[in-house]
């Protein structure tokens, strides 16, 4: 301990065994181990105090005053001399102060000379912010003036000052754990060597208010101690096993990007900065009602997390979404707690960096200054070295070099996980990794014994060295360019496949390696390449980011390849169906590599002095006479030479093809040998470039033997193309992008132009809105304008009438357009109508039932149920439900058997086209009982709207009353809520179907409880004339029921139904007696 001599160091000094300090001229005694004051929110820093330890070490600590006590942020607390005077008072007068001092001294850490050979590990290791700031300034590539600006920007940021120091995003970002409470999981025994360190960490987190003690925990998750590697300083790391919590929690479906996805879309520029957020998860609050689900136990005490814990499944998604919302549109790439920004100039980068740090600081987040990188030409981001492209970082290469031979399967899995992170940079990665994965496979003998001894041979070590050398020679990749097309080259050799993805006219973006399955190994070359393309097609589309995709193959694969044209095909029809959908994607160009020699047409067009001819073609939609319009404009050096248009039978596509044919005929007539043809039809452009040659080889027939669409027109075009050298260009319609958009717009307006002339309009009355069209001319005028606009809707028709200075009320325009036969043929029917012309709702109880499947539900049921089967009576709306693990034919038949055994067999079953309904089990059941099947068309939920609305009601009820795993056992409660619900003009569904409520409230025993004999609702009798309600009501029908015809009751079947002479069986609610 120190001597009695007084050693003064600025404003701190020793005196005997105690440390004193002068703060604002007042001496204070330093006491130790009091970290309880550091997290109080009302403490404000007054300055910094330098304290010297007995071993000569000097540390600067922030201090402040609180209720007469001076505090130092850290494991030290300063007590005033006034507090010491309080201790000299009589006993009983200073209990609170003495109790506090006793608590502090119980955690006392003596300050004195360090014993030889003993090193103390304190959780508080303050960050020397000025030194680290200077280090970051020196590392940056800014100019001297830029570094001074960077210094000011860093000074405005909140920086973490010790290990678990974290920010606070405040009440704006509070996370609720959605899902049930999991059963408690017992605590594992901890490693004895880790208990002491775990105790310190728990106390630290409690002092920081990241966790708190819970007296009445509702569950428990075990805490584990994981050994840190020696390279990281050794020690232990606490890990909470949240497996049980994660299984019960609803997954957050936020768009959390993976590291590789973030790197491939990185915008790389000259100046780059990477900002690391300190303890990001601990900066986001956890809702009070959700904290109990995160409980864990340590030394017999239960604790819960008050901040977002690590190991919880939704922590990365929730925190990244919060950071992205905080940053807004500053142009930063965010991956959890790593923020990347880049700019071409120093000024732009400093301004963007200022905005990012300002937003983070204002939100309450703190920076891990040691890990931040500011204004550098080369940075390390997500384990990769980022310059103008991406390569392996020095830190990763060092880890790779230090790999030791694995001592267990777990060690080998860790090594393969480290290697897999960079597999996109290694050509034929699976070729090197495959032998090592074989070491993880279990043999038959291993399964019997349960465990097998770990054996690592020299051959295995050689395979590991080959993999390490392949990774050390990894190629550098460049990010995806948004201005260029994506090019993917597929190669299949033996059992291995690889896709090289690159920017067109650029470098490699990624490398994908794949080992073919045992089935795919038997495929011919074409099918192997299609299988690989189908596996990565979704990822390719995402990576293309709206740009077209060009795929280069080794075999003769093209867009119109079909199963019948491949020799010795092995793939199933299902696979070929998926492959054909991919091949016909308009954004895909596929085929073998083309030779790089220049084409003669391009040479001819580029000869100086030769006039350049350009022909623009276009076609339009059908007219009232079932014909299409076509037209073309021919120009030489930008000057128009000819234009022509006309009509052709068929669709708008036929108009496009006819325009191309007529344009080529004009070129031949004028003896023009070479020209450029511009069309906005992708179909025509693709056909002229590639498909026409394939069609000629196949006799203008498809792979299924059917003739090509517009076969006669394409035959003539093929003959004309032999006489011409045509350079075909596709121009996207209705955009101001591309080299030929003006000419394309011109021909489009020329083809769409209609001449509308009305004679005698000068005699019509003038109004402020225009000349009012007399009633006898309304139909003629509206139809003329409607057809001239290509059967456009109400709004374009009204706009054209206004331009013609004519006025017709909106309702009259709607009435005329509603009766248009062409629009009625192609437009969808009214909502609520069946596509087969029959009404969805039946007029007989339990005559027609509708069925559908809801799910998978957000929460799994108590017995693993994920789906909910819903069956609804179309007349009454009576709903029955059943939970099922799988949506298949067996579950559907099981529900039909259960419900129909109680309510009877319906005449009609209406479903969609899902595989759980269209299968042999359901078909056999319906044939057995004579049930007619009716399928609603795809993508038309209104055709089965009765059950769609019922599913909505069921989901709403579950969300409000059973949003746990108990929803699967609530079939009776759902039936009671939906079938006893009151309706405005109709009885409850249960009353309408069964003439009794779903929940019966009377027993009915004895003579006193006997009810009167049921009588028909309406006293119909045989021979009586009645009105019959219309089957289909228009959308604008009044609320009052409409009756379309009369009929005579032939026979009364029961109290609910009668048999009519012409209309057959009808429900009594559809009838009304005709007054005598």
- Give the confidence band of 790 by pLDDT, cuts at 50, 70, 90: low
Top-confidence range, 243-247, 798-802, 966-970, 1002-1006: 243-247
**Spatial separation of the C-alpha atoms in residues 706 and 202, rounded to whole Å:** 75
The DSSP symbol for 115 reads P
pLDDT of residue 445: 53
Left if phi > 0, otherwise alpha if psi is -120 to 50, otherwise beta: which for 117? Answer: left
Give tens-digit pLDDT for 131-141: 888 888 888 88
> In the predicted model, is pLDDT for residue 381 greater than 80?
yes
DSSP string, 418-479: HHHTTGGGSTTHHHHHHHHHHTT---HHHHHHS-------HHHHHHHHHHHHHHHTPPPB-P
End-to-end CA distance of the chain: 120
- Give the confidence band of 388 by pLDDT, cuts at 50, 70, 90: confident
**Spatial separation of the C-alpha atoms in residues 2 and 946, rounded to whole Å:** 88
Give tens-digit pLDDT for 266-294: 778 889 899 999 888 889 999 999 999 99
Burial-class residue 387 by CB neighbours within 10 Å (0-12, 13-18, 19+): middle
Taking CA atoms, 414 is separated from 419, 423, 436, in Å, by 9, 15, 12
Give me the mean pLDDT over the 684-698 stretch: 85
**Spatial separation of the C-alpha atoms in residues 296 and 223, rounded to whole Å:** 6
Radius of gyration of the chain (CA): 40
pLDDT of residue 274: 92
Q: Please name every residue paired with 249 in a beta bridge, in sequence order, or none if there are none.
A: 179
Helix, coil or strand: residue 312: coil
Give tens-digit pLDDT for 839-873: 556 667 888 888 888 888 777 888 888 888 888 88
**Spatial separation of the C-alpha atoms in residues 569 and 743, rounded to whole Å:** 47
> In the predicted model, is pLDDT for residue 263 greater than 80?
no
DSSP string, 740-802: THHHHHHHHHHHH------TTGGGSPEETTEEEPPGGGHHHHHHHHHHHTTS--HHHHHHHHH
Taking CA atoms, 621 is separated from 111, 624, 742, 744, 784, in Å, by 90, 10, 21, 16, 16
b or e along 755-784 (b: 16 or more beta carbons within 10 Å of the residue's beta carbon)?
A: eeebeeeeebeeeeebbebeeebbeebbbb
**Spatial separation of the C-alpha atoms in residues 892 and 870, rounded to whole Å:** 10
DSSP string, 873-924: ETTT--EEEEEESS-SHHHHHHHHHHHHHHH---SEEEE-S-TTTSSHHHHH
pLDDT of residue 119: 37
Residue where the block lists tokens 């056909």: 687
Residue where the block lists tokens 């009820």: 957
Of 612, 604, 558, nearest in space to 582 by CA: 558
- Give the confidence band of 99 by pLDDT, cuts at 50, 70, 90: low
**Spatial separation of the C-alpha atoms in residues 31 and 237, rounded to whole Å:** 29
- Give the confidence band of 1016 by pLDDT, cuts at 50, 70, 90: very low
Give tens-digit pLDDT for 399-424: 888 888 888 888 888 888 888 888 88
Helix, coil or strand: residue 385: strand
Of 878, 776, 783, nearest in space to 822 by CA: 783
Helix (H) or strand (E) holding 592: strand 588-592
**Spatial separation of the C-alpha atoms in residues 907 and 930, rounded to whole Å:** 7
DSSP string, 696-720: HHTTSB-TTSPBPTTHHHHHHHHHH
pLDDT of residue 614: 92
Contacts of 79 (CB under 8 A, 6+ apart): 28, 29, 30, 31, 69, 70, 101
758 is written with which tokens? 């009305």
> In the predicted model, is pLDDT for residue 564 greater than 80?
no
The per-residue pLDDT of the chain, averaged, comes to 77
Give tens-digit pLDDT for 31-64: 433 333 333 445 566 666 655 444 445 566 666 6
Give tens-digit pLDDT for 871-922: 888 888 888 888 888 888 888 898 888 888 888 888 888 888 788 888 888 8
Question: Which spans in 944-996 are helix H?
Answer: 945-961, 971-979, 989-994
Cis peptide leading into residue 114 (ω within 30°): no
- Give the confidence band of 1019 by pLDDT, cuts at 50, 70, 90: low
pLDDT of residue 1038: 44
Q: What percent of the chain has pLDDT over 90?
A: 7
pLDDT of residue 41: 44
Contacts of 1020 (CB under 8 A, 6+ apart): 1026, 1049, 1052, 1058, 1068, 1071, 1073
638 is written with which tokens? 């930008």
The DSSP symbol for 520 reads G
**Spatial separation of the C-alpha atoms in residues 957 and 351, rounded to whole Å:** 52
């Amino acid at each position: 301990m120190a001597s009695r001599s007084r050693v003064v160091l600025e404003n701190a000094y020793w005196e005997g065994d105690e440390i004193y300090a002068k703060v604002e001229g007042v001496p204070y005694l330093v006491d130790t181990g009091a970290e309880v004051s550091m997290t109080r929110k009302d403490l404000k820093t007054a300055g910094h105090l330098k304290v010297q330890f007995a071993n000569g070490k000097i540390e600067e600590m922030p201090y402040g005053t609180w209720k007469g006590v001076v505090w130092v942020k850290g494991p030290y607390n300063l007590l005033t001399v006034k507090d010491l005077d309080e201790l000299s008072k009589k006993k009983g007068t200073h209990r609170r102060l003495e109790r506090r001092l006793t608590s502090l001294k119980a955690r006392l850490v003596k300050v004195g000379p360090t014993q030889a050979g003993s090193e103390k590990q304190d959780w508080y290791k303050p960050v020397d912010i000025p030194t680290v700031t200077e280090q970051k300034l020196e590392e940056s590539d800014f100019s001297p003036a830029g570094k001074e600006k960077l210094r000011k920007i860093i000074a405005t940021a909140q920086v973490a000052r010790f290990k678990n120091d974290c920010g606070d995003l405040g009440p704006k970002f509070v996370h609720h754990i959605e899902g049930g409470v999991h059963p408690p999981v017992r605590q594992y025994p901890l490693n004895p060597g880790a208990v002491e360190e775990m105790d310190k960490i728990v106390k630290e987190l409690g002092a920081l208010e990241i966790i708190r003690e819970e007296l009445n925990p509702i569950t428990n998750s075990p805490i584990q101690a994981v050994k840190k590697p020696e390279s990281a300083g050794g020690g232990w790391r606490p890990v909470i096993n949240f497996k049980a919590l994660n299984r019960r929690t609803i997954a957050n479906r936020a768009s959390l990007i993976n590291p590789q996805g973030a790197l491939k879309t990185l915008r790389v520029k000259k100046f780059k900065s990477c900002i690391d957020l300190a303890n990001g998860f601990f900066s986001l609050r956890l809702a009070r009602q959700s904290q109990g689900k995160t409980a864990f136990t340590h030394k017999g005490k239960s604790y819960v997390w008050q901040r977002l814990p690590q190991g919880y499944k939704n922590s990365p998604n929730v925190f990244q979404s919060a950071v992205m919302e905080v940053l807004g549109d500053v142009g930063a790439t965010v991956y959890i707690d790593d923020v990347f920004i880049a700019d071409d100039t120093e000024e732009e980068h400093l301004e963007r960096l200022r905005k990012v740090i300002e937003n983070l600081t204002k939100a309450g987040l703190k920076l891990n200054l040691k890990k931040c990188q500011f204004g550098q030409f080369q940075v390390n981001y997500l384990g990769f070295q980022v310059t103008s492209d991406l390569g392996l970082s020095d830190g990763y290469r060092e880890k790779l070099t230090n790999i030791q031979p694995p001592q267990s399967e777990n060690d080998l899995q860790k090594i393969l996980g480290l290697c897999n992170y960079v597999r996109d940079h290694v050509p034929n990665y699976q070729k090197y990794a495959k032998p090592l994965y074989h070491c993880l496979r279990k043999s038959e003998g291993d399964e019997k014994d349960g465990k097998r001894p770990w054996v690592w041979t020299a051959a295995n070590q050689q395979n590991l060295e080959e993999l390490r050398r392949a990774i050390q020679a990894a190629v550098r990749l460049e990010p995806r360019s948004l201005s260029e097309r994506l090019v993917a080259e597929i190669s299949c050799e033996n059992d291995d496949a690889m896709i090289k993805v690159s920017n067109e006219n650029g470098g490699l973006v990624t490398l994908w390696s794949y080992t073919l399955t045992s089935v795919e190994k038997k495929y011919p070359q074409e099918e192997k390449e299609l299988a690989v393309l189908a596996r990565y097609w979704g990822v390719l589309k995402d990576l293309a980011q709206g740009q077209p995709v060009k795929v280069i193959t080794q075999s003769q694969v093209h867009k119109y390849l079909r199963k019948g044209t491949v020799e010795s095909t092995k793939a199933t029809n299902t696979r070929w169906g998926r492959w054909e959908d991919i091949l016909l994607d308009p954004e895909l160009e596929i085929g073998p590599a083309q030779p790089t020699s220049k084409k003669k047409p391009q040479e001819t067009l580029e000869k100086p002095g030769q006039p350049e001819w350009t022909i623009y073609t276009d076609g339009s939609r059908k007219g009232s006479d079932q014909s299409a319009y076509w037209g073309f404009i021919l120009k030489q050096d930008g000057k128009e030479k000819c234009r022509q248009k006309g009509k052709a039978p068929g669709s708008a596509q036929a108009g496009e093809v006819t325009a191309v044919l007529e344009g080529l005929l004009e070129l031949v007539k004028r003896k023009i040998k070479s020209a450029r043809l511009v069309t906005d039809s992708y179909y025509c452009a693709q056909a002229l470039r590639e498909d026409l040659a394939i069609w000629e080889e196949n006799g203008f027939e498809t792979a299924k033997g059917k003739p090509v669409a517009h076969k006669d027109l394409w035959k003539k075009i093929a003959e004309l193309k032999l006489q011409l050298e045509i350079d075909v260009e596709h121009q996207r319609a209705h955009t101001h992008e591309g080299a030929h958009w003006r000419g394309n717009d011109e021909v489009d307006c020329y083809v769409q132009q209609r001449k509308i002339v009305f004679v005698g309009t000068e005699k019509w009355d003038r109004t402020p809105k225009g000349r009012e069209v007399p009633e006898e001319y309304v139909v003629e005028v509206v139809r003329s304008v409607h057809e001239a606009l290509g059967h456009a809707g109400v709004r374009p028709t009204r706009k054209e009438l206004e331009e013609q200075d004519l006025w017709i009320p909106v309702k009259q325009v709607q009435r005329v357009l509603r009766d248009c036969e062409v629009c009625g043929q192609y437009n969808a029917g009214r909502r609520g109508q069946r596509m087969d012309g029959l009404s969805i709702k039946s007029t007989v109880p339990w005559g027609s039932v509708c069925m559908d499947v809801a799910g998978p539900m957000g929460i799994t049921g108590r017995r693993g149920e994920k789906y909910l089967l819903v069956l609804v009576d179309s007349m009454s709306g009576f709903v029955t439900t059943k939970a099922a693990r799988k949506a298949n034919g067996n579950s559907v038949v099981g529900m039909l058997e259960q419900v129909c055994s109680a309510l009877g067999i319906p005449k009609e079953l209406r479903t969609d086209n899902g595989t759980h309904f269209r299968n042999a089990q359901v078909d056999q059941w319906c044939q057995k009982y004579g049930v007619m099947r009716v399928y609603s068309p795809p993508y038309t939920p209104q055709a089965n709207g009765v059950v769609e609305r019922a599913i909505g009601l069921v989901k709403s009820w579950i969300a409000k009353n059973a949003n746990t795993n108990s929803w699967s056992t609530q079939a009776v409660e759902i039936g009671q809520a939906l079938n006893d619900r009151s309706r405005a003009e109709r009885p409850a569904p249960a009353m309408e179907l069964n003439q009794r409520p779903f929940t019966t409230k009377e027993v009915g025993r004895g003579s006193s409880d006997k009810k009167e004999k049921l009588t028909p609702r309406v006293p119909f009798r045989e021979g009586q004339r009645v009105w019959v309600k219309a089957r289909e009501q228009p959308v604008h029908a009044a609320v009052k029921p409409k009756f379309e015809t009369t009929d005579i009751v032939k026979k009364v079947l029961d109290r609910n139904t009668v048999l009519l002479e012409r209309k057959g069986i009808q429900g009594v609610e559809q009838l009304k007696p005709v007054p005598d």
